Each structure stands twice: as structure tokens, then as C-alpha cells.
Amino acid sequence: MAEERVNRKLAAILAADVVGYSRLMGADEEGTLAALKQHRQTVFDPAVAAHNGRVVKLIGDGTIVEFGSVVEAVHCALAVQRSNGLIPDEALRQPKIVLRIGINLGDVIIEGDDIYGDGVNIAARLEPLAEPGGICVSSIVNESIGNRIDVRFRDAGEITVKNIDRPIRVWKWHPGATPELAKAAERPLPTVASASIAILPFTNMSGDPEQEYFSDGISEDIITDLSKIAGLTVIARNSSFAYKGRSVDIRTVGNELGVQSVLEGSIRRAGNRVRITAQLIDAGNGAHLWADRYDRDLTDIFAVQDDVTQRIVEALKITLSPAEKRRLADSETRNVAAYDCVLRGREFMLGKEKNLATFQQAVKYFNEALEHDPNYSVAYACLGFGYMFDYQNRWSEDPDKSLAIAKEYARRAIEKDPNEPLARCVSALAASYEKDLDRAKAEIDVALKLNPSLALAHNLRGTIHTFSGQPLEAIPEIEQAMRIDPAMSAQFLHFLGLAYLLAEKYETAAVLLRQRIVMVPNTDFTRAILASALGHLGEIDDARRVWAELMEINPKYSFFAHVGRQPFERKEDVERMADGLRKAGVLS
């Protein structure tokens, strides 16, 4: 029997518990339960929602919450512990609820809606160490948050905790510890984050599996249109399409993707007719916010997409700027044949299998699209993206030529439509590989102005900051990419780990890079960076083991040759990586 694959991921875990709960229950059981319920409804749950957390389990007075970002986890904890003045006056007669909170960043095992592993266990062990009303975090959490919060944790030394085979350095904070928190109770709880949505892949009801590309393409274009709105966080295709073909509870989707609303629907295409149903659902309570059905000629497909987008904007009560209205009104093409070719080509380019054959099929369809509409900017941009894939993955006989080809297609796409964000990303990618980071940054800035929810662009901006010697500026950008597109975390973790290493936050870098290797076992460069981080931490045996794995995967690997192909602007950044490898004794 094949061994079942364990589903793991990196997560920030918050463990909270009520101080003196047994004593409170013994003195006033009914009042304590009422006060706990009040605290959860008024303070705890709103703070979790505001910071994109997911309550994993409630155990009596205890709570385990999962976050995709360690900064969000700490901000949530601070919001809760600063909230004493927010309980309504009528609750003051009830017992006072005071929490201890522990936070850890680590590897967790996912099983259904539950999570397990050291990441959870350590958070649970840290919680009792916090002072009443305070927070206790692991060293990796303190290192990861850096200067991105408005408080400082104090070093509380190393401790040994049950069932963990290594000492853990802990850091503590309490609202009475520093003068800046004297008025903490007056600070309002943060409001729920800006509107957020996931668009599930529309179900193909045509009875023809070959029409799958069409229903997927419509879904993706709605994602693209909504992503142009600055006040709306839109989950990327890779992550929302992970639910394709699955029967899921919308509230579960909302929790897993951290969104407030979900769009689902179906498409039936028959000849020149198309029927589309769509419904927007509140992910919190499952209520329908809007629903409609469209029976149209295929030539009306663009008008249907425009109407669906507008209805979602209205239902979510989003106010569009004049520029956003113009971008949503702009039409890439009104040629259905050209549009159909782009949808077919994208299905090959973005599918699970990526190789020379799928690259060639994608290119064929994009070129056919341009035969139907020579001014179709998206088709040029997609061609550029395809050739960047070839350059990066070395599929064709002469992949080095693909960089220049990609650059030219991006230029043509921008010439046809300066407001095409994918073309800007392709242009930025090409500029990065040509080591022209100023041009790359300028192109990415334009891309994100046009499409604030483009995960690829956020990650590119982050990596450009890293290569430019600004790793601390890179971190929030890459984390935002992971927030928008969790399914691409395997790729983003590499760049996030590299940023932390160059910021000299070696423990955090090591955790992130280990997680990347779990998700992508045959990576060589990630292992080189991990070995460097471990060398800086003095974990020499582990560093050498990782390096041995790298050489087994790629016996011809050369660190300096590999790094030489990367656009690092500062010699000291390359030297920092090399120095860690020298400390580990794997680089002379």
C-alpha cells in the first residue's frame, strides 16, 4: 500500500487561555460562561477576523488560532490584550476575563480542519509562561516580526518545555511594562480588513470535458477584473482553483483562504449559446449576497463578465475610483475567436503539467489569437510569459533566445495597451534577468498600480528589493504574495527565506527554507541558502547534511556560478551567504 502523503505547511499559531478559569467557574459558573462568551464575541473573534486568522479549536477556556503571517498573529494578540476598555458597561458585573497568549511559528500537520505538530505544541507550552494579560513568543517569532510592530518583547531566557527536545528562548510582553501602553485600553480594536473575495472555478455544465478551458477561463477573467480594484483583496487563481471538482462548504473556503465572500457558479456552452449562473456568498454565515442567471449569445460573453463584476462591486459596497472605473470598462478584445484562443492557450500554460509540449501548444494558441485580433495585448503578454517559462525551465533547444523573445512580446503588449499588468510583469522579469533592477522595479510599480492583487507582482517587487540590498522591505511584499496566493507558497518561501537570511535573521530563514524543501524536495539553491543559514547559527552538522543532499541532487552544483546568474547588486550580500557556507566547512 502506498504511503499516504502528510500535508504540512508553515503557520503562525496563537494559543490563548483564561487566567484562573477554574477559580472563576467555582465562584460563579453562570457569570463566568457569560463573560467568556461576551469576550469572544466582542474582543477575541473580531480581532482574529481583522487579522485573517482561523480559529482551529476551542477547548473549554482555551483557543488555538492559525495565521498565515506571524505579524498578523502578533497584531491580533496585541489587539486582544489591549482591549480591556472595550467590554460594554453591562458586562462589568460579570467576572473579568484576562488571557495569557503564546505564539509560535513552525511546521504544522493538517488533518481536515485540525492541525498538529511542534508548531502547535510549542505555542501551547508558551501560553502558560505569559503574564496575565501578556504575551509570550518564541525566539523565531520575535526575530520574524523585527520592527514591524509598535512594541518590543523582552528576553526571558531559555526554557525547557515538555515533549520538546531542545531548549527554547522566549520573549515576553505585558501592557504595563512600557510607558507607551499606559493608555492601551483606549485604543480601538482594528476593523475587519478591506473587502476580500475568492472566485471558485465555475463548474463546466456543457457535458463536454473539452469545454473545461472555457469555464476556467471565464472564472480567471473575473478574478483578473476584480483584482484591478485597490479596495478589494482577491485570491489568485492557483489558490481558488485548488477547490476545483470538490464539494466544499463555503464557510470552510472562507476560513482557509481568509476571505469574507466567495463567488461560485456554472457555465453551459452549446453552439453559439452560453448560460452562466453566478452567486456571491457571505463566507461568514453562508448567506447569499447576490445571484443571477444569464442566457446569452456567445458574442455577449464580455457583457456578461462586465455585469458580474459590477454586481459584485455593488454587493460588497466598494467605491471605485475614476481610474478603476476606466480600467474595468476597458475591453481587451471583442473578438470571440481571439478570446477563445487565449483561454485555450492559458489552460496549457497554467496547467499542472509544464513542459516543452505544453509550452508549444500554448504558443500556438496565442499566435492564433493574434491572427484573429492583431491588437490583442493580452495575447502578446501571454506569449511573453510563455517564453519566460522556457527561459527559466530550459525546455527548448536554445532557451537563452527566449529571454529576448519574451522581452519583445512584452514591449508589443505594452505598446498595444499600456495598462496590461501581465505585460509589465513579463517586462520586469526580463529586466531582472538582465540585471537591470531599476527598470524591473519601475515596471512592477506600474503593474501593482494597475492590479493591486497580483501575487506575482508582489513577489517580484519583494525579490527586486532583496537583490537590491533591501531585504526588510522585501519581506512584507512576499508575505502579501503568499496571502493572495497561498497555493504558490512553495515558490514564495524560497524568496522569503533568502530575504530573512540577508537581513541576518538566520533562525527564521532556516525555518522557512526547511519548509520549502519539504514542499519541493529536489531543490538545490534553497538547500545552499539553508546550509548558509545553519552555518551562521553554528548548526554545523545539519548544514553539512543539507549540503550533502544538495550535491546528491546536483553533483555539478557551483554556488558562485549559481549566484553569479542572480542579479545581486551588493557584493556583501553574496559574501554573507558564502560566509555561512564557509562556517559550515562546505565552501573553501
**How is 306-370 classified by DSSP, letter by letter?**
HHHHHHHHHHTTPPPPHHHHHHHH--S---HHHHHHHHHHHHHHHSS--SHHHHHHHHHHHHHHH
Q: Which residue has the higher pLDDT, 30 or 255?
A: 30
Q: Is the pLDDT of residue 1 over 70?
A: no
Q: Give the mean pLDDT of 148-167.
A: 79
Q: Give the mean pLDDT of 452-456.
A: 93
Q: Give the mean pLDDT of 261-280.
A: 92
- Please give the Cα distance from 140 to 117 (Å, whole number): 16
The pLDDT value given to residue 119: 85
Q: Is the pLDDT of residue 182 over 80?
A: no
Mark whether 372 and 448 lie in a shared domain: yes
Establish if 3 belongs to a structural domain.
no
The one-letter code for the residue type at 341 is C
Q: Is the pLDDT of residue 52 over 60?
A: yes
Phi, psi of 48 (to 5 degrees): -60, -45
Mark whether 153 and 22 lie in a shared domain: yes
What is the 3 state secondary structure string of 66-99? EECCHHHHHHHHHHHHCCHHHCCHHHHHCCCCCE
Q: Give the mean pLDDT of 29-58.
A: 88
Mark whether 116 and 218 lie in a shared domain: no
What is the pLDDT of the chain when averaged over all its residues?
A: 87
Pick from 68-82, 158-172, 226-240, 498-512: least confident: 158-172
Mark whether 472 and 562 lie in a shared domain: yes
Establish if 262 belongs to a structural domain.
yes
Helices 525-537, 571-583: axis angle to 10 degrees equals 70
Establish if 1 belongs to a structural domain.
no
Decide: 279 and 291 in contact? Cβ < 8 Å.
yes
Q: Is the pLDDT of residue 236 over 80?
A: yes
Domain of residue 94, CATH code: 3.30.70.1230
Q: Is the pLDDT of residue 66 over 80?
A: yes
Q: Give the mean pLDDT of 352-364.
A: 91
Q: Is the pLDDT of residue 105 over 70?
A: yes
Q: Give the mean pLDDT of 396-401.
A: 91
Decide: 476 and 70 in contact? Cβ < 8 Å.
no
Q: Give the mean pLDDT of 102-117.
A: 85
What's the angle, vertex CA 358, arms to CA 353 and CA 363, rounded to 5?
A: 145
Establish if 22 belongs to a structural domain.
yes
Mark whether 23 and 129 lie in a shared domain: yes
Establish if 141 belongs to a structural domain.
yes
Instruction: Mark which of 152, 186, 220 sits at the end of a domain.
Output: 186
Q: Which H or E run includes 64?
A: strand 62-67
Domain of residue 396, CATH code: 1.25.40.10
Mark whether 253 and 160 lie in a shared domain: no
Decide: 17 and 100 in contact? Cβ < 8 Å.
yes
- Please give the Cα distance from 293 to 276 (Å, whole number): 6
Own/partner long-range contacts of 255-258 (Cβ < 8 Å, ≥24 apart): 255/54, 255/113, 255/283, 256/54, 257/198, 257/486, 258/52, 258/53, 258/54, 258/68, 258/196, 258/483
Mark whether 478 and 572 lie in a shared domain: yes
Mark whether 84 and 151 lie in a shared domain: yes
Decide: 508 and 499 in contact? Cβ < 8 Å.
no
The pLDDT value given to residue 534: 95
Q: Give the mean pLDDT of 147-157.
A: 85
Mark whether 179 and 204 lie in a shared domain: no
What are the residues facing 8 on neighbouring strands?
109
Instruction: Mark which of 398, 432, 453 sits at the end of a domain.
Output: 453
Single pTM value for the model = 0.79
The pLDDT value given to residue 156: 87
Mark whether 240 and 254 lie in a shared domain: yes
**Domain that includes residue 95, residue range:** 8-186
Mark whether 470 and 435 lie in a shared domain: no
Domain count, the chain: 4
Q: Report pLDDT digits (tens) over 282-333.
A: 988 889 999 999 999 988 888 888 899 889 988 888 888 888 888 877 767 8
Instruction: Mark which of 331, 348, 370 sits at the end of a domain.
Output: 331
Mark whether 106 and 169 lie in a shared domain: yes
Q: Is the pLDDT of residue 90 over 70?
A: no
Q: Report pLDDT digits (tens) over 538-566.
A: 999 999 999 999 999 999 999 999 998 89
The pLDDT value given to residue 4: 47
